[in-house]
Amino acid sequence: MTNRGNFSGRLGFILAAAGSAVGLGNIWRFPYLAGQNGGAAFLLIYLLCIFLLCFPVMVGEIAIGRKVGSDAYGSYYKLGGRSWGFLGLFGILAGIFILSFYNVVAGWAFGYFLEISFGDLLNHPDFGGFFGAYVNDISDNLWFSLGFMVFTALIVSQGVQKGIEAANKIMMPSLYLILIGLIIYSLTLPNAMAGVKFYLIPELSEIKAQTVFDALRQAFFSLSLGMGALITYGSYVKKDQNVVSSAAVISIADTSVAFFSGLMIFPLVFSAGQSPTEGPPLVFMILPQIFHDMGPIIGRVVGGSFFLLLCFAALTSTVSLLEVPAAYLVDQKKLPRKGVVWGLALLIFIIGLPSMVSQGMVPFLNKLPFYQGRDFLTFVSDMCDISLTIGGGLMCVFITYKWKIENMNEELSLGNDTYMGSILQKYINFTIQYVCPLLLGILSILVIIDKFFGIDKVFG
Ligand code: PFF
């Protein structure tokens, strides 16, 4: 048996998995989705999704990975045979496509970090116009996202402990520090409390079908579930570690960063008299305006820190996204890690090019006729989201009918003496067998209908 590498211990695993979870999803996407879906109402449904659906799926994924000690395909294959192996492959493919567009957005964040800290972005008279021009500038986009992919590959090619774990041990604490600093600053601004109120006091009438769909897909994306990332990371976890409590810590760490991002952004937005419903450009168009208003020096420092935070968060996630297919090729095809990592990085970068040019450079990709006139990047991202909830639901079906819940329980009791017979065991078993497959199945179908036809048009 080849030595695949391991996380050094509990902390290493938790930081790496939390690093995978905490990403652009928390700092870029969570606030704009919350802003569009009524703030606190969204937060409420989101928390429910995490507790009811995501936490059990996370436990299941890590258990599968640790049981077999292999990549996503190998784990399903070993426990369930060839046909279930396809579920692993489906996840690996989803990971490749997520990374393809994720790296484009990460490139924007990297470019903004450089242009705010060292360039003159904040002197620009029109930040909306700047963003529009920026995402249409092919050379900037190419270089920054290529740079980001190179950073990712450099880390992953170093292996699990020396690369992934070491990088996360530096970046994750830095990320928390920057975030806390920014929250303290934003809460001291005038009218900050209006933002806090919007974010924390739910208006139940704001809860619509769209709120539930958005909260669900965001929760799965944010916790990196449904595509085998945590099967892969779980495969590097030692048998004496407590999987259930680690999953709880990872879920809380990720959810707290999403929560705190909202707590940082909404006071900023409200104190500047801006609207929180801006959508995807919220972070790239509204925040620079706010940093600009802070004056040349403070704006540079606060704005630069914010985009550095975004880059760190993105990098710990891109690393896990690249690790999923890399582990597959290393484990199944016995290929050398370094070659695999660089080859995959190049391939995925190329797959991302249509997303990169879909923001206006290529009109057809900017307004897809079969996708309600939305752009290609949004299309890929939506399809990946759907595949995550389907993948999570199928994983629960796999555990229930193929691997069997007792075998999962046995795996989970390693490193956790009090698991068997506990309330937590009953909760995890009940949700994995009944709640998750049912809800994830129904909601995934509704989301597909919504994305292609618009749910209001079909049912309204
Ligand atoms: N969880 C990441 C985020 O919130 O940005 C995105 C992600 C990373 C999804 C890794 C899936 C994954 F395997």
The arithmetic mean of pLDDT across residues 187-211, rounded, is 93
The pair of three-digit structure tokens given for residue 313, joined into one six-digit string: 């968060």
User: Is residue 143 predicted with pLDDT exceeding 90?
Assistant: yes
pLDDT of 456 reads 72
Letter for the amino acid at 306?
F
The arithmetic mean of pLDDT across residues 147-154, rounded, is 96
Residue 79: name the closest of 327, 404, 425, 409 by CA: 404
pLDDT of 460 reads 63
pLDDT band at 176 (very low <50, low <70, confident <90, very high): confident
User: Is residue 136 predicted with pLDDT exceeding 60?
Assistant: yes
Question: Is the CB–ligand 1 distance for residue 25 below 6 Å?
Answer: yes
The arithmetic mean of pLDDT across residues 325-342, rounded, is 96
Helix (H) or strand (E) holding 192: helix 192-200
Write the residue with the smallest CA distance to atom 11 of ligand 1: 224
Mean pLDDT, all residues of the chain:
94
pLDDT of 230 reads 97
Q: How far is the CA of 221 from the centre of ligand 1 (A)?
A: 5
Please give the number of the atom of ligand 1 that sits closest to the Cα of 324: 13
Q: How far is the CA of 313 from the centre of ligand 1 (A)?
A: 10
Cβ neighbour number for residue 145 with a 10 Å cutoff: 26
Q: How far is the CA of 314 from the centre of ligand 1 (A)?
A: 8
Sign of CA dihedral 17, 230, 163, 20: negative
The arithmetic mean of pLDDT across residues 310-320, rounded, is 93
| CA 221/CA 233 separation, integer angstroms | 16
Q: How far is the CA of 39 from the centre of ligand 1 (A)?
A: 22
User: Is residue 50 predicted with pLDDT exceeding 70?
Assistant: yes
Q: How far is the CA of 243 from the centre of ligand 1 (A)?
A: 20
* CA quadruple 69, 70, 71, 75: dihedral, nearest 10: -90
pLDDT in tens, 395-435: 999 999 999 999 999 999 999 999 999 999 999 999 999 99
Question: Is the CB–ligand 1 distance for residue 325 below 6 Å?
Answer: no
Class of domain 10-459: mainly alpha
Please give the number of the atom of ligand 1 that sits closest to the Cα of 223: 1
Give the Cα-Cα-Cα angle 442, 90, 10 (nearest 5 degrees). 95
Residue 306: name the closest of 288, 280, 282 by CA: 288
User: Is residue 348 predicted with pLDDT exceeding 50?
Assistant: yes
Sign of CA dihedral 5, 10, 16, 20: positive
Q: Which of 98, 260, 283 is the best mutation target for the ligand 1 pocket, counting ligand atoms within 8 Å of the beta carbon and taking the most?
A: 98
Question: Is the CB–ligand 1 distance for residue 18 below 6 Å?
Answer: no
pLDDT of 86 reads 97
Question: Is the CB–ligand 1 distance for residue 92 below 6 Å?
Answer: no
| CA 257/CA 236 separation, integer angstroms | 25
Question: Is the CB–ligand 1 distance for residue 23 below 6 Å?
Answer: yes
User: Is residue 2 predicted with pLDDT exceeding 70?
Assistant: no
Question: Is the CB–ligand 1 distance for residue 17 below 6 Å?
Answer: no
Please give the number of the atom of ligand 1 that sits closest to the Cα of 30: 4
| CA 74/CA 191 separation, integer angstroms | 54
Please give the number of the atom of ligand 1 that sits closest to the Cα of 229: 13
Q: How far is the CA of 103 from the centre of ligand 1 (A)?
A: 11
pLDDT in tens, 228-268: 999 999 999 999 999 999 999 999 999 999 999 999 999 99
Question: Is the CB–ligand 1 distance for residue 381 below 6 Å?
Answer: no
The pair of three-digit structure tokens given for residue 256, joined into one six-digit string: 């707290």
Question: Is the CB–ligand 1 distance for residue 221 below 6 Å?
Answer: yes
Q: How far is the CA of 8 from the centre of ligand 1 (A)?
A: 22
The arithmetic mean of pLDDT across residues 197-212, rounded, is 92
User: Is residue 66 predicted with pLDDT exceeding 70?
Assistant: yes
The arithmetic mean of pLDDT across residues 314-338, rounded, is 95
Question: Is the CB–ligand 1 distance for residue 228 below 6 Å?
Answer: no
The percentage of residues in the chain with a pLDDT greater than 70, rounded to a whole number, is 99
User: Is residue 1 predicted with pLDDT exceeding 50?
Assistant: no
User: Is residue 280 predicted with pLDDT exceeding 90?
Assistant: no
